[in-house]
Structure 1
Amino acid sequence: MYDLVLLHPPTVYDFRKEMLFTGPISDVVPSSPVFEMYPIGLTSIGDYLERFGLKVKIINIANRMLLNPNFDVEKKIRKIKTKAFGIDLHWLPHAHGSVELAKIVKKYHPDTPVMFGGLSSTYFHKELIQYPSIDFVVRGDTTEKLILMLLNKLEAEADSFFEIPNLTWKREGKYYHNDMTYVPDSLDEFEHPGYRYVIGSVFKYFNLLDPLPYKGWLQYPNTAILTSKGCTYNCLICGGSRDAYELNCNRKKLVMRSPKKMLEDIALIQRFTRAPIFLLNDIRQGGKEYVDEFLSGLEKMDLKNEIVFELFNYADEEFFERLNRAMPKYSIELTLESADEDIRKYNGKLPCTNAKVIEMLQYALNHGCAKIDLFFMTGIPNQDYDSALRNIDFCETIHKECGESTKISYFVAPLSPFLDPGSPAFENPEKYGYKKFCQKLEDFRAAMKQPSWKNMLSYETNKMTREDIVRATYDSALRLNQFKYRNNLVSKEVHDEVAYKIEKSVEFLRQLDEFALLPQEEQAAELVKIKEEVDQINRHSICGKNELKWEVKKLYANFLSLTYIGFELFVDDMIKRVKCRLGIIDRNIVAPSNIRK
């Protein structure tokens, strides 16, 4: 019997039966269009609860469905014995799958509480709690303590939950929304991510497949560390912007994980893998002293893994010199969004001149940067079709000015499928150049089931319709693909495959528009005919499947090291359970009201 089972849903349930042309909505992230990669917050929850002797299991339902077409979700859920279920709705594309998964849980476990959590759950908590299959919504960006408090209350068979901050709940047809007063100003108590928990759970529960982060993780185990919550930037379309965090989570200021904790994470990760370690969010938000302490710590480590830094703004030459001294191998990621300086500045993304962008890239290359990923976007305010295509012209300029370096990788992708709830543009669409088609949670659930990704889009801009955004995306991707091949950045095989997929994608969109005019039964029959072919096109439709990958000669550390970690964690878990039984560890905690002013 588990104390809590955490389930990660697919985007649409059941995507295996539905004909969904998702297009390029996931081409620049590790997971597939099913978005089977679960939020790293799940591992932190598991790690925190198990410190108090609880048994917590993560089951990546989306990934299990991807790995095995015959995987029986209902059979799996029916056999689970747990005191509570948790389902994440962090990224809004899971709006459909998460609620449907909750319905299945209640079908087989009608008396077992079901809780939701994540940023999208927080935003739509008042709607979620009205579903009969959902009992609680734990709101905010840091919920580990709150979930422990809730589990304690459930075990005590409490009738009310007013004492738990940030909680949305219901009793006898009435809905309650407790004030969001728990906004921790330190992240060091929690593991983001909890890789110790993931490795330990494999050994404790003898199941490798359930907690896998995404399809292909065993072949290419990317790892990531969350460096902060909140943001000092206020990009218009970002659900993690300064305004969005304050509106949604009552987080008024940035909070960073300490350099000490991040260094401990890196030391643990390189004990089991040699894959790149991504630092999520720009560490420079913590200030110069923070960066110096972290990089000085890296210098003292016997660092074996490549570290990938995300940059939100211009970095000078001194910064790249410092990175080069601190570690044997590093890379960077930059989301430029647009080559047009005015558009970029308006949106709040990398507000510096193109000359400064090129200067920064030159600094990085001159000081040992192994790989640079540059991301452009279609579907942003004030961008018309011609502006979108100018992004590729800027790629040409960068390539020439940076000595035709093959270390720079270029990507273009649409803002899709949805405009982020909580972002300034979502909250004030007309002010910032948007027209919204989706407002309520049910709107997004319905949008995810549209056969065409064009009709999944929850918005249009002041310069482009949905059709324009789709056309700009494919025409930009086609030009970018030609640019890459012309400059030996991709092979002929990759170029030809991407060109073919773009051509087929445009054809599918035309067919789907025609099918939409047919009676419903005829339309369904036509969709069935093209499903198999569409499924083959859905992944990596506008870039090569390996373009986002970093070259890694050895993916894993030695087997003995991994076995030792597992044994170490297993023993540690047994000790904690004994301490809990003896009353040495008290799980009856209180989450303080510590809103940062």
Structure 2
Amino acid sequence: MKRLFSTDVVFLHAPSVYDFRRDTIFFGPISDVVPSSPAFEMYPMGITSLAETLEKNGYNVRIVNLAYLMLRDPDFDPEKLIARLKPRLFAIDLHWLPHAHGSLEVAQLCKKYHPDIPVAFGGLSSSYYHEELISYPYVDFVLRGDSTEEPMRQLVSSLRQGQADFSSIPNLTWKKPDGQPVVNPLTWIPDNLDYTTIPSYRYVMGSVFKYGSLHNTMPYLDWLSYPITALLTARGCTQNCSICGGSRSAYARICGRQKPAYRSPKALVEDIRFIKSFGKAPIFILHDIRQAGMDYAREFFGLLKKERIPNELIIELFFPADEEYFRLISESVPRFSLELTIETHEEHLRRLNGKFKCSNAAVEATIAAALKYNCRKIDLFFMTGIPGQTYQSALASIDYCRQLLEKFNGDKRLSLFIAPLAPFLDPGSPAFENPEKYGYIKHCQTLEDHRQALTRPSWKHILSYETTTMSRDEIVEATYEAAYRLNELKREYNLIPEEVYEDIRYRITQARQIIAEIDRILLIPDEEVRQLSLQKLKARVAELNRHTICGKDELKWPLRRRFAGLWSLGKLLTMLFLEEVKRVGLRLRGNYDQHPLEMG
């Protein structure tokens, strides 16, 4: 009876660097163009799908976002919380490599207080480094691949039954009792995503009710004030961008996936219908819908038109689009915005990199078509540190931004950004696997290399690479100079308020000074004096560790409403309560594992 209500699995999301509140580390702009902070408190959405699958099969599953809790409360002690938890299994994500330090530190804490409770890792980075990861004494399992819902269910089922032989579980790397590692075949590779929901907002909402904690599952620090949601349309990609760990060749290498697995248009619209029941903020549709073909896109938007959703959609583009596409979107949703990452204005570099392999004229025609069909906002991203880029080329991207503003008469719907490829070159990406071809010089190769790099005192020294055309110093300076010039350009065209302009100008100036001061401190031979000198910078570093190169609200889309009304929320919570009552009944009867997944 006690086990009936106890927790079977606890998913722990660690900060990028476990000691980020104590150590002086200037992360700079590495998270300025994503919703989360440099602690990268946003956990991978696949965790919710894993949790939902386990809950459907009778298990009690909690997600605990340690990174969020540590950011929210300076006095929160993650070690005390971990000591109190007693699940069958701790599951820690290492999806994005910037978590290489925090995730391993959290794993050590789990073993410190619970030496007999196994620890599992999962995610793309875990999959890439699974053999190195399993060699750590505090890691017992690594679930490999991009779709581990069923392998995870089988693992938890085996643990519940007290089994010690896990050789039949697909995608699993594990240890025998004598410590010998075993790598099971990577065979669980579903060819569609309709078997689950990604992410599972049903699980997230239900867990708030079930476990009585709103904050454990918060995706990022200010989500309650800006509750944007997202949906994953595919696992895998048709594109093969050189610096992307989620590229076509990376998925083949890491996950054994030869082609993308898509969520059907019908299932996506059902997901949107559920989101609509609790939230009215924008919904980000991850990946370019057209990857699956225009018939797929037409079906999706046709179904969406019938749904009459109030939410704005954020649409991602991987390649140019024409007027027909934007007409289709505008007829289906009340409002939409775009995300385009072209990385550089230089067409030959885009061809080398594999991103937006088209002419600038095609990029501009796409922007013009979107604006014609009343796109509310177009976020256009450039990058420093890409293959073949020089210092002058990086700065010339801002000249191209000026050309765009001139061409489109300073249209305020055009939002321009530039950010560095930081902190790491993605393992599994074409550039990581073939650095000479793309002009990269790698400073980190192993998981341990990356873990150690994250403890260095500035993002310049954390960078895992430089290129044959730019040193680390040049990448850092190109980032700040380009951002400085872009800030001036935005002010000239009245794209940002004066106070935002002044704030970013101040922050870039201060950031350059901090980089120089840290470089000088690192030359101090005495370790104790060096650490004391770094500690004196801590307050200034903390002030500048966010929103250095663009305003904190520049990436946000305007909100009309945040959440649904009380009636809709009440109906939703009642439904989730009844679902949980049904699951309790199944557990009382010992009916576990009634919903195994099948590939199809």
Once residues 147 and 327 of structure 1 are traced to their aligned partners in structure 2, the CA distance between those partners, rounded to angstroms, is 37
**TM-score scaled by structure 2?**
0.97
Q: In the alignment, which residue of structure 2 is the partner of 1:447?
A: 453
Q: In the alignment, which residue of structure 2 is the partner of 1:485?
A: 491
Alignment map for 1:470-509 (pairs within 5 Å):
470-509=476-515
Residue type at the aligned position of 1:452:
S
Matched, 1:29 2:34: yes
Structure 2 CA distance for partners of 1:549 and 1:590, relative to 1, 3 Å = closer
User: Residues 165 and 591 of structure 1 are in contact (CA less than 8 Å); yes or no, is this contact kept in structure 2?
Assistant: no
CA RMSD in angstroms comes to 1.2
SS of residue matched to 2:448:
helix
Once residues 223 and 482 of structure 1 are traced to their aligned partners in structure 2, the CA distance between those partners, rounded to angstroms, is 32
Residue type at the aligned position of 2:273:
A
More deviation, 338-347/554-563: 554-563
**TM-score scaled by structure 1?**
0.98
C-alpha distance after superposition, 1:207-253 (max 9, x if no partner): 11111111011111111000001111100000000000000000001
SS of residue matched to 1:116:
strand
Query: What is the CA-CA distance between 1:561 and the residue it aligns to?
Result: 1.8
1:107 maps to which of 109, 112, 121: 112
SS of residue matched to 2:510:
helix
User: For this pair of structures, how many residues does the alignment match?
Assistant: 593
1:327 maps to which of 317, 333, 342: 333
Residue type at the aligned position of 2:162:
E
Once residues 404 and 494 of structure 1 are traced to their aligned partners in structure 2, the CA distance between those partners, rounded to angstroms, is 18
Query: What is the CA-CA distance between 1:398 and the residue it aligns to?
Result: 0.9
C-alpha distance after superposition, 1:1-57 (max 9, x if no partner): 101000000000111001000000000000000000000001111111111121100
Residue type at the aligned position of 2:502:
D
Alignment map for 1:244-323 (pairs within 5 Å):
244-323=250-329
Alignment map for 1:184-199 (pairs within 5 Å):
184-199=190-205
Q: In the alignment, which residue of structure 2 is the partner of 1:232?
A: 238
1:559 maps to which of 563, 566, 569: 566
C-alpha distance after superposition, 1:247-267 (max 9, x if no partner): 000000111100011101111
Q: In the alignment, which residue of structure 2 is the partner of 1:535?
A: 542
Query: What is the CA-CA distance between 1:394 and the residue it aligns to?
Result: 0.9
C-alpha distance after superposition, 1:316-369 (max 9, x if no partner): 111111111111101110001001111011101011111111111011001010
Matched, 1:133 2:138: yes
Q: In the alignment, which residue of structure 1 is the partner of 2:3?
A: none
Residue type at the aligned position of 1:112:
I
Matched, 1:11 2:16: yes
Once residues 382 and 238 of structure 2 are traced to their aligned partners in structure 1, the CA distance between those partners, rounded to angstroms, is 22
Once residues 41 and 482 of structure 1 are traced to their aligned partners in structure 2, the CA distance between those partners, rounded to angstroms, is 40
Q: Which runs of 5+ in 1 are unaligned?
A: none
More deviation, 582-591/128-137: 582-591
Q: In the alignment, which residue of structure 2 is the partner of 1:520?
A: 527
Query: What is the CA-CA distance between 1:62 and the residue it aligns to?
Result: 0.3
Query: What is the CA-CA distance between 1:124 and the residue it aligns to?
Result: 0.6
C-alpha distance after superposition, 1:299-332 (max 9, x if no partner): 1012100000100001011111111111110111
User: Residues 89 and 117 of structure 1 are in contact (CA less than 8 Å); yes or no, is this contact kept in structure 2?
Assistant: yes
Structure 2 CA distance for partners of 1:448 and 1:584, relative to 1, 3 Å = closer
SS of residue matched to 1:358:
helix
Query: What is the CA-CA distance between 1:270 and the residue it aligns to?
Result: 1.4
User: Residues 145 and 186 of structure 2 are in contact (CA less than 8 Å); yes or no, is this contact kept in structure 1?
Assistant: yes
Once residues 423 and 144 of structure 1 are traced to their aligned partners in structure 2, the CA distance between those partners, rounded to angstroms, is 24
Once residues 250 and 581 of structure 1 are traced to their aligned partners in structure 2, the CA distance between those partners, rounded to angstroms, is 39
Residue type at the aligned position of 2:240:
N
Once residues 230 and 590 of structure 1 are traced to their aligned partners in structure 2, the CA distance between those partners, rounded to angstroms, is 20
Residue type at the aligned position of 2:576:
L
Query: What is the CA-CA distance between 1:577 and the residue it aligns to?
Result: 3.1
Q: In the alignment, which residue of structure 2 is the partner of 1:149?
A: 154
Q: In the alignment, which residue of structure 1 is the partner of 2:362?
A: 356
Residue type at the aligned position of 2:486:
L
2:44 maps to which of 39, 43, 46: 39
Once residues 481 and 511 of structure 1 are traced to their aligned partners in structure 2, the CA distance between those partners, rounded to angstroms, is 24
More deviation, 234-243/554-563: 554-563
Matched, 1:20 2:25: yes
Once residues 116 and 228 of structure 2 are traced to their aligned partners in structure 1, the CA distance between those partners, rounded to angstroms, is 38
SS of residue matched to 1:224:
strand
Once residues 359 and 243 of structure 1 are traced to their aligned partners in structure 2, the CA distance between those partners, rounded to angstroms, is 29
Matched, 1:161 2:143: no
2:474 maps to which of 454, 468, 484: 468
Matched, 1:175 2:181: yes
SS of residue matched to 2:163:
coil
SS of residue matched to 1:431:
helix
Residue type at the aligned position of 2:566:
F
User: Residues 50 and 573 of structure 1 are in contact (CA less than 8 Å); yes or no, is this contact kept in structure 2?
Assistant: no
Query: What is the CA-CA distance between 1:562 and the residue it aligns to?
Result: 1.8
Once residues 475 and 150 of structure 2 are traced to their aligned partners in structure 1, the CA distance between those partners, rounded to angstroms, is 43
User: Residues 64 and 71 of structure 1 are in contact (CA less than 8 Å); yes or no, is this contact kept in structure 2?
Assistant: yes
Query: What is the CA-CA distance between 1:586 and the residue it aligns to?
Result: 4.0
Query: What is the CA-CA distance between 1:401 and the residue it aligns to?
Result: 1.2
User: Residues 302 and 332 of structure 2 are in contact (CA less than 8 Å); yes or no, is this contact kept in structure 1?
Assistant: yes
Matched, 1:545 2:552: yes
Once residues 234 and 598 of structure 2 are traced to their aligned partners in structure 1, the CA distance between those partners, rounded to angstroms, is 20
Once residues 514 and 370 of structure 1 are traced to their aligned partners in structure 2, the CA distance between those partners, rounded to angstroms, is 46
Once residues 20 and 285 of structure 2 are traced to their aligned partners in structure 1, the CA distance between those partners, rounded to angstroms, is 31
Q: In the alignment, which residue of structure 2 is the partner of 1:431?
A: 437
Query: What is the CA-CA distance between 1:591 and the residue it aligns to?
Result: 6.2
Structure 1 stretches (4+) deviating beyond 3 angstroms? 579-592
Q: Which runs of 5+ in 2 are unaligned?
A: 1-5
SS of residue matched to 1:504:
helix
Once residues 400 and 580 of structure 1 are traced to their aligned partners in structure 2, the CA distance between those partners, rounded to angstroms, is 65
Matched, 1:415 2:433: no
1:89 maps to which of 88, 94, 101: 94
User: Residues 12 and 97 of structure 1 are in contact (CA less than 8 Å); yes or no, is this contact kept in structure 2?
Assistant: yes
User: Residues 59 and 592 of structure 2 are in contact (CA less than 8 Å); yes or no, is this contact kept in structure 1?
Assistant: no
Residue type at the aligned position of 2:362:
K
Query: What is the CA-CA distance between 1:580 and the residue it aligns to?
Result: 4.8
Once residues 324 and 591 of structure 1 are traced to their aligned partners in structure 2, the CA distance between those partners, rounded to angstroms, is 37
Once residues 593 and 477 of structure 2 are traced to their aligned partners in structure 1, the CA distance between those partners, rounded to angstroms, is 59
Once residues 65 and 79 of structure 1 are traced to their aligned partners in structure 2, the CA distance between those partners, rounded to angstroms, is 17
Q: In the alignment, which residue of structure 1 is the partner of 2:350?
A: 344
Once residues 239 and 410 of structure 2 are traced to their aligned partners in structure 1, the CA distance between those partners, rounded to angstroms, is 32
SS of residue matched to 1:369:
coil
Residue type at the aligned position of 1:390:
A
Query: What is the CA-CA distance between 1:403 and the residue it aligns to?
Result: 2.5
SS of residue matched to 2:340:
strand
Query: What is the CA-CA distance between 1:560 and the residue it aligns to?
Result: 3.0
Q: In the alignment, which residue of structure 1 is the partner of 2:405?
A: 399
